[in-house]
Chains A and B, each alone.
Chain A
Amino acid sequence: MAEPSQLSQYIESFVDSSRSPTQQAASLEAIASLLKNKQLTIETLVREMEGYLTTVDNIIRARGIILLGEILVRLASKPLDDATIHSLIGFFTDRLADWRALRGALVGCLALMRRKSSGGMVSGSDAKAVAESYLQNLQVQSLGQYERKLSFELMECLLERYPNAVASLGDTLIYGICESVDGEKDPHCLMLTFHIIEVLSRLFPDPSDALAGFAHELFEILGCYFPIHFTHQKDEDMTIKRDDLARALMLAFSSTPLFEPYAIPLLLEKLSSSLPSAKLDSLRYLTDCTMKYGADRMAKHIEAIWSSLKEAIFTSLDSVLLFTPESLGGPDLPKNEIAAEALSLLQKLIVQNTKLFLDLIVGDEDISMIFNTISNYKNYHEIPLERKQRLNAVGRILFTTAKASQVSCSRVFECFFSRLMDILGLSARNSSGQPYFDESILISKRCNHGALYLSIEILSACRDMIASSETILAATSHTEETWKYLLQSFSPALTMGFCSAFSCSSEGTHDAATYIGVKGLLILATFPGGYSLISKTVFEKILVTFVSIINEEYSKRLSWKLALKALVEIGSFLERYHESEKEPSYMDIVVEKILSLAFVGDFGIPFPLRLEALSDIGTSGRSYMLKVVQGLEEAIYANLYEVYVHGSTNSAEIVTHLLKCYSDKVIPWIRCEKGFEEVLLQFAINIWNQIENSTHFNASQTNKKGVLDVMMKAMKLAVANCSEEKQNIIVQKSYNILSSSISFPLEELLLQERFQIAQEVDNSSSRDEWVLSHFAAVTIAIHPQTHIPNTRSIVSLFMTTLLKGNVVAAQALGSMVNKLDLKSTRGQTSSDCTLEEAMDIILNLSLWIFDKNSSSSIQSKMISVHDTGLNDLSNGVENCTSLQIHAILGLAWIGKGLLMRGHEKVNDITMIFLRCLQSSGRAGISHEEKSISENNYKLDLHSSVMKTAADAFQILMGDCEQCLNREFHAIIRPLYKQRFFSAIMPVLQSLVMKLEPLSRSFLFRASAHVIIDTPLIVVLSDTKKIIPLLLDGLSALSNDVVDKDVLYGLLLVLSGILMDKNGQEAVSDSAHTVVNCLVDLTRYPHMTLVRETAMQCLIAISGLSHARIYPMRTQVLQAVIKALDDPKRAVRCEAVRCRQAWASIASRSLHF
């Protein structure tokens, strides 16, 4: 038992309104925890609080009652006995009359009413007493917002939890509720009131009940809220949105059918309003009410609803139909929300009241007028715009009607379809396909686009209806529905009609004809249910038509595309609905025909189009794709054979297209589907087999390169998408071929010998090069876990190859280095090596190349290699330079691999680059001078070598598509660019300081590459240090035209800094130098974008603090005046803005 004194202290501190809210809350929690821990009983507490609860001081009494109420809220789960609850609820019921202390009473009542049955609940009679007291004493609308909310919550709780107790109050209850909710405006309270009315209506479901008398009154209160017009500010009350309120009101509207006489006229009236949101709401409410009120009640209003609905659809639908391939297959829902809602309401109404509504639609004058007039216009584009909209609307209405149910579908077919057939001049009798006497008249009649369009809508509705109710179809297949009969008898004639729409289109008319023709045929072909509705001959005729378009009409882009899309749609339809009956014909007619396109040698259709057709057909289904892939691969192998053996240029071109298609279309598709890995494995293996078997290699130099590139791309992608085991198989296979065919030995080599190999220019055959390149491609694409045999030799092999200038070998080496194990895990054989060992091999070799001591020995070696008098000294030096360039390029790729995995050896490589950059660039003049300068510590290199070293940083930092990315399973350490940036920038900066100005330009170039490829956010955090280097770089790079892209990239970084708020702060110290640099760039002659961006940067600078930039204004304005006469318009426009920005800080006048 707690100390009484302590308890009274808690009570005192809560009741005392001078205490802070936190103290009050703390004492409340303290008392509640005492009660929860059974240190205190409710009785003791009430007795202790007696004084506070009954005092005549209003404020203290109010606080006391709130305390009791809040405590009960906290005790919601604590079991209380019935007597306690009874006495408490009795107390609070009484207190409802005490308007000065109302909040506490409401809180307390609510807490008690909400109790779960497990802990003791308020009895029914007590609840009734609460309700009575509520109705008698509370004038809800005269209370404050919070109290109103509480009292609505209390009423909601009463209605929901004690429906029987309060229902017995009858009229008094409804009247009281009407009174209390009338005129409410707060959104939170409105949510509650709407719900209260909804629950209330549920309470009195019987029309003869008490509610009937009040329905009108209640609806008047509700009706004035419709449509919800919500003007609340955005920042306050984010919890309640307009849509919530609209939904709650909708539920209240539809809660009882008794509202029907009042609600429907109101909704129809608002439907005709011009406010789109009101329209939309009315439609949604009507939909909901239709479902809730029931068919009988709605029947009274059906005519009014139909006319307003028709109006809404007619006015809201777009007037333009799209004739693009994209809109061919999809369920073309109207984009307009109003139209969509209206159509869904229409469908619900039809389902509910089929007979009545169908009579209305059939007898409608507007629709029949459309039917009467469509025959006046032959071509879709002749129809006036307004009429087009009508036509579209009627189409949608018929579509919705026919789709609603079987009965409505039959009715539509009966009334409209046969009329359309008359207009088109088709008859069931024609189905035999005999020639007509008056062919030309019939054709011109058949080309009536409006009628064709309407028949398409009806047919597609019918198709969708069947597709959605396939089980019903099976059950009722024996009954002869009208629509089935009509469809069966007319389908052949219709097919001809659509085909003729095509043939008409050749007369230079618009795409409408083609679109309508294709769409109609597509719909006929995709009727589900085998051949029961559409006969086999018709289906095959459609397919043949499409295929012939593909084969012949390739010059008409749109119709070709549409036909292809339609074929793809049909294919995927067959796949989706397992139409086993139709599949063989599709396979025979479509897939086989299209496949033959890959082989036939004549160039009737442009080759890219053939491949597009081929790959698109493949994507329609798995079985088709298998077939297509087979065909494609056969074509590839056949053409490759030609290339290998005869060196045929024609085949090389074809195989390039084929391989591109394979890697761009087929492989991505396979990646998404499961279970096609085997195909890729087979592809890779077959390519290798073919290389192995072709011993005579005649690929001519001219076309070889292109073919090799696409082959390697396909190989990379194929390998990358295989699993590890499959990759192991491929690697083993390729290694075997490599080791058997490559003519140079894979054993350890002495350094000098290696060098000689590097010098043996192109003594290997072109077949070896293919083998090596393909092996490199495989290496690039494998998983890190995949095992490469005899790693050590492979590394040296690639190393020697890259010294010959083979970039792919360098990339492969980079990938290998990126993926090699750090520690050897599996039983190591002598030929395998870890990353450390591989790096040792690489670095030794490269250091040796750049070592100053050995460089002279290279020279002498070289001379001895080319010992004949033909090759003189300068040739040797040239060779040496190109060797160094190749070595740097190779090292850059290797470095990239290391950098991405975050290995510290990358530092060694960057050190080599930096040493190259520090050289004085005097090399290559003559050997004598070189030997003199040998005393110098620095390396002497040719300037092109230094440029390559600078560009190596671009390779290091840039993203690459060919290798070392996620697709090719590279190990990528997070934030590797950031790390490298923060490591290398200080080094570069200190080097810049050390060197004399003339030789800095390559350092600037290198740092520009690093800055450009680092994420901007990192550069921003380091702006202060970067800016000097960046500006120097900009001015150094602006001298040469060839650097313009690097310059632009660097300028973009600067503009990024200037646009950022933190960046501006950092720049503001060096504003003067930045402005100088930018002013120079506004005159940059080689690239418009640079001038424009410089101008934008100047505008951004004008936002810096006034004191900083004021001194520069004259300089900037003078530069800008020159730019006003710039030959490019974009620059002039920016110049005007810039001038305004700077003129306004200067003095706002133009006199500066």
Chain B
Amino acid sequence: MQLIVIVLCKESPSIELMLSIFTSYYGEQVVLIFLTFLNHIRDIKDPEHPYSLEELKVITEDAIEVDNERSYVRVTFTPTVEHCSMATVIGLCLRVKLMRSLPSRYKMDIRVAPGSHATEAAVNKQLNDKERVAAALENPNLLDMVDECLAPSYA
């Protein structure tokens, strides 16, 4: 019996529906491979480690919501420890990368997973304040750091 591999984008309409259609056609051998927004951000390097954010489980498939019709993305990331000082930098990297990768019609919302960080509210506010993001990107040191983290994701 052959495996049937179906490649889907998360942008495509209702995945559950498609899955049920395919499984009713082909039986259990259906494997769905999602080519998702995760591909855009999975290779971002952690500022402190030589690992990618996906390897560190900072971001996962489930933590990304996309609504193509309404041009809306929400990324929820989980810092490795509660007092992670890099949470804002990671968030900034995610934002910059998505800004550079997505069409301008998208509205981005980047958040720390609830209960995973000590100063959750402050970080969320900082990441979604476009004035502060723009100001951060004008800081050459910070921009260098972000660029270094993003370098592998363009490879």
Interface, chain A (partner B; CB < 8 A): 1121, 1124-1125, 1129, 1136-1137, 1139-1140, 1143-1144, 1148-1151
Q: Which residue of B is nearest A1141, CB measured? A: B154
Question: In the complex, what's the smallest C-beta–C-beta distance from B122 to chain A, in angstroms?
Answer: 24
Instruction: Please tell me if the beta carbons of A1121 and B137 are within 8 angstroms of each other in the complex.
Output: no
Question: In the complex, what's the smallest C-beta–C-beta distance from A770 to chain B, in angstroms?
Answer: 46
Instruction: Please tell me if the beta carbons of A1148 and B35 are within 8 angstroms of each other in the complex.
Output: no
Instruction: Please tell me if the beta carbons of A1124 and B143 are within 8 angstroms of each other in the complex.
Output: no
> Can you add 4 more A-B contacts, CB < 8 Å, to A1129-B35, A1148-B147?
A1136-B101, A1136-B154, A1140-B150, A1150-B99
Q: Tell me, yes or no, whether B5 is within 8 Å of chain A by CB.
A: no
Q: Tell me, yes or no, whether B131 is within 8 Å of chain A by CB.
A: no
Question: In the complex, what's the smallest C-beta–C-beta distance from B39 to chain A, in angstroms?
Answer: 8
Instruction: Please tell me if the beta carbons of A1148 and B100 are within 8 angstroms of each other in the complex.
Output: no
- Partner among B40, B96, B143, B147 whose Cβ is within 8 Å of the Cβ of A1136: B40
Q: Which residue of B is nearest A1123, CB measured? A: B103
Question: In the complex, what's the smallest C-beta–C-beta distance from B138 to chain A, in angstroms?
Answer: 7
Task: Tell me the bound Cα distance from A1150 to B40 in angstroms.
Answer: 17
Task: Tell me the bound Cα distance from A784 to B18 in angstroms.
Answer: 64
Interface residues of chain A: helix, strand, loop or mixed (majority): helix
Q: Tell me, yes or no, whether B134 is within 8 Å of chain A by CB.
A: yes
Q: Which residue of A is nearest B154, CB measured? A: A1140
For residue A1140, which residues in chain B have a CB less than 8 angstroms away from its CB?
100, 150, 154
Interface residues of chain B: helix, strand, loop or mixed (majority): helix
For residue A1139, which residues in chain B have a CB less than 8 angstroms away from its CB?
100-101
A1124-B103 contact in complex given A1129-B35, A1148-B147, A1149-B143, C-beta closer than 8 Å: yes
Instruction: Please tell me if the beta carbons of B100 and A1143 are within 8 angstroms of each other in the complex.
Output: yes
For residue B134, which residues in chain A have a CB less than 8 angstroms away from its CB?
1151
For residue A1144, which residues in chain B have a CB less than 8 angstroms away from its CB?
147
Q: Which residue of A is nearest B71, CB measured? A: A1125
Q: Which residue of B is nearest A1122, CB measured? A: B103
1/0 per position for B90-115, CB-CB distance to A under 8 A?
Answer: 00000010011111110000000000
Instruction: Please tell me if the beta carbons of B100 and A1129 are within 8 angstroms of each other in the complex.
Output: no
Question: In the complex, what's the smallest C-beta–C-beta distance from A1100 to chain B, in angstroms?
Answer: 15
Question: In the complex, what's the smallest C-beta–C-beta distance from A484 to chain B, in angstroms?
Answer: 44
Question: Could you name 14 residue pairs across A and B whose Cβ atoms are closer than 8 Å?
Answer: A1121-B103, A1124-B104, A1125-B103, A1125-B105, A1129-B9, A1129-B35, A1136-B40, A1139-B101, A1140-B100, A1140-B150, A1140-B154, A1144-B147, A1148-B143, A1149-B138
For residue B96, which residues in chain A have a CB less than 8 angstroms away from its CB?
1150
For residue A1150, which residues in chain B have a CB less than 8 angstroms away from its CB?
96, 99-100, 137
Instruction: Please tell me if the beta carbons of B154 and A1124 are within 8 angstroms of each other in the complex.
Output: no
Question: In the complex, what's the smallest C-beta–C-beta distance from A530 to chain B, in angstroms?
Answer: 45
Q: Which of B100, B105, B134 has the most CB of A within 10 A?
A: B100
Q: Which residue of B is nearest A508, CB measured? A: B1
Instruction: Please tell me if the beta carbons of A1136 and B138 are within 8 angstroms of each other in the complex.
Output: no
Task: Tell me the bound Cα distance from A1148 to B99 in angstroms.
Answer: 12
Task: Tell me the bound Cα distance from A1139 to B101 in angstroms.
Answer: 8
Question: In the complex, what's the smallest C-beta–C-beta distance from A11 to chain B, in angstroms?
Answer: 64
Instruction: Please tell me if the beta carbons of A1121 and B143 are within 8 angstroms of each other in the complex.
Output: no
Question: In the complex, what's the smallest C-beta–C-beta distance from A1045 to chain B, in angstroms?
Answer: 27
Task: Tell me the bound Cα distance from A1139 to B150 in angstroms.
Answer: 13
Question: In the complex, what's the smallest C-beta–C-beta distance from B33 to chain A, in angstroms?
Answer: 13
- The 6 A-B residue pairs whose C-beta atoms are closest, nearest first, are A1125-B103, A1124-B103, A1136-B101, A1149-B137, A1140-B154, A1150-B99
Task: Tell me the bound Cα distance from A1149 to B138 in angstroms.
Answer: 8
B104-144, CB < 8 A from A = 104-105, 134, 137-138, 143
A1124-B101 contact in complex given A1148-B147, A1149-B137, A1149-B143, C-beta closer than 8 Å: yes
Task: Tell me the bound Cα distance from A1148 to B143 in angstroms.
Answer: 8
Task: Tell me the bound Cα distance from A1137 to B153 in angstroms.
Answer: 9
Task: Tell me the bound Cα distance from A1137 to B39 in angstroms.
Answer: 13
Interface, chain B (partner A; CB < 8 A): 9, 35, 40, 96, 99-105, 134, 137-138, 143, 147, 150, 154
For residue B138, which residues in chain A have a CB less than 8 angstroms away from its CB?
1149
For residue B102, which residues in chain A have a CB less than 8 angstroms away from its CB?
1124
Task: Tell me the bound Cα distance from A853 to B74 in angstroms.
Answer: 76
Instruction: Please tell me if the beta carbons of A1136 and B100 are within 8 angstroms of each other in the complex.
Output: yes
- Partner among A1121, A1129, A1137, A1151 whose Cβ is within 8 Å of the Cβ of B154: A1137
Question: In the complex, what's the smallest C-beta–C-beta distance from B29 to chain A, in angstroms?
Answer: 15
For residue B147, which residues in chain A have a CB less than 8 angstroms away from its CB?
1144, 1148
Task: Tell me the bound Cα distance from A664 to B104 in angstroms.
Answer: 55
For residue B99, which residues in chain A have a CB less than 8 angstroms away from its CB?
1150
For residue B104, which residues in chain A have a CB less than 8 angstroms away from its CB?
1121, 1124
For residue B150, which residues in chain A have a CB less than 8 angstroms away from its CB?
1140
Task: Tell me the bound Cα distance from A1008 to B134 in angstroms.
Answer: 47
For residue A1129, which residues in chain B have a CB less than 8 angstroms away from its CB?
9, 35
Q: Which residue of A is nearest B101, CB measured? A: A1136
Question: In the complex, what's the smallest C-beta–C-beta distance from A1141 to chain B, in angstroms?
Answer: 8
Question: In the complex, what's the smallest C-beta–C-beta distance from A323 to chain B, in angstroms?
Answer: 15
For residue A1149, which residues in chain B have a CB less than 8 angstroms away from its CB?
137-138, 143
Q: Which residue of B is nearest A1125, CB measured? A: B103
Q: Which residue of B is nearest A1136, CB measured? A: B101
Question: In the complex, what's the smallest C-beta–C-beta distance from A298 to chain B, in angstroms?
Answer: 49
Question: In the complex, what's the smallest C-beta–C-beta distance from A292 to chain B, in angstroms?
Answer: 48
For residue B103, which residues in chain A have a CB less than 8 angstroms away from its CB?
1121, 1124-1125
Q: Which of A1139, A1144, A1148 has the most CB of B within 10 A?
A: A1148
Task: Tell me the bound Cα distance from A1151 to B104 in angstroms.
Answer: 12
Question: In the complex, what's the smallest C-beta–C-beta distance from A32 to chain B, in angstroms?
Answer: 60
Task: Tell me the bound Cα distance from A1149 to B92 in angstroms.
Answer: 13
For residue A1151, which residues in chain B have a CB less than 8 angstroms away from its CB?
134
Question: In the complex, what's the smallest C-beta–C-beta distance from A412 to chain B, in angstroms?
Answer: 38
Question: In the complex, what's the smallest C-beta–C-beta distance from A193 to chain B, in angstroms?
Answer: 41
For residue A1148, which residues in chain B have a CB less than 8 angstroms away from its CB?
143, 147
Task: Tell me the bound Cα distance from A1124 to B40 in angstroms.
Answer: 12
For residue B143, which residues in chain A have a CB less than 8 angstroms away from its CB?
1148-1149
For residue B40, which residues in chain A have a CB less than 8 angstroms away from its CB?
1136
Q: Which residue of A is nearest B140, CB measured? A: A1148
Q: Which residue of B is nearest A510, CB measured? A: B1
For residue A1137, which residues in chain B have a CB less than 8 angstroms away from its CB?
154
Question: In the complex, what's the smallest C-beta–C-beta distance from A1119 to chain B, in angstroms?
Answer: 13
For residue B9, which residues in chain A have a CB less than 8 angstroms away from its CB?
1129
Task: Tell me the bound Cα distance from A1151 to B143 in angstroms.
Answer: 13
Task: Tell me the bound Cα distance from A1124 to B106 in angstroms.
Answer: 11
Task: Tell me the bound Cα distance from A1132 to B137 in angstroms.
Answer: 25
Question: In the complex, what's the smallest C-beta–C-beta distance from A1129 to chain B, in angstroms?
Answer: 7
Q: Which residue of A is nearest B39, CB measured? A: A1133
Task: Tell me the bound Cα distance from A1129 to B103 in angstroms.
Answer: 13
Question: In the complex, what's the smallest C-beta–C-beta distance from A737 to chain B, in angstroms?
Answer: 54
For residue A1143, which residues in chain B have a CB less than 8 angstroms away from its CB?
100
Question: In the complex, what's the smallest C-beta–C-beta distance from B73 to chain A, in angstroms?
Answer: 13
Task: Tell me the bound Cα distance from A499 to B124 in angstroms.
Answer: 71
Question: In the complex, what's the smallest C-beta–C-beta distance from B66 to chain A, in angstroms?
Answer: 14
Task: Tell me the bound Cα distance from A1149 to B103 in angstroms.
Answer: 16
Q: Which residue of A is nearest B35, CB measured? A: A1129
Task: Tell me the bound Cα distance from A1151 to B137 in angstroms.
Answer: 10
Question: In the complex, what's the smallest C-beta–C-beta distance from A968 to chain B, in angstroms?
Answer: 42
Question: In the complex, what's the smallest C-beta–C-beta distance from B154 to chain A, in angstroms?
Answer: 5
Q: Which of B35, B101, B134, B138 has the most CB of A within 10 A?
A: B101
Task: Tell me the bound Cα distance from A1124 to B100 in angstroms.
Answer: 9
For residue B137, which residues in chain A have a CB less than 8 angstroms away from its CB?
1149-1150
Task: Tell me the bound Cα distance from A1136 to B40 in angstroms.
Answer: 9
Task: Tell me the bound Cα distance from A1106 to B60 in angstroms.
Answer: 39
Task: Tell me the bound Cα distance from A1137 to B150 in angstroms.
Answer: 12
For residue A1124, which residues in chain B have a CB less than 8 angstroms away from its CB?
101-104
Question: In the complex, what's the smallest C-beta–C-beta distance from A435 to chain B, in angstroms?
Answer: 36
Task: Tell me the bound Cα distance from A1151 to B105 in angstroms.
Answer: 16
Question: In the complex, what's the smallest C-beta–C-beta distance from A1078 to chain B, in angstroms?
Answer: 20
Question: In the complex, what's the smallest C-beta–C-beta distance from A698 to chain B, in angstroms?
Answer: 47
Question: In the complex, what's the smallest C-beta–C-beta distance from A350 to chain B, in angstroms?
Answer: 43
Task: Tell me the bound Cα distance from A1136 to B43 in angstroms.
Answer: 14
Task: Tell me the bound Cα distance from A557 to B102 in angstroms.
Answer: 47
For residue B100, which residues in chain A have a CB less than 8 angstroms away from its CB?
1136, 1139-1140, 1143, 1150
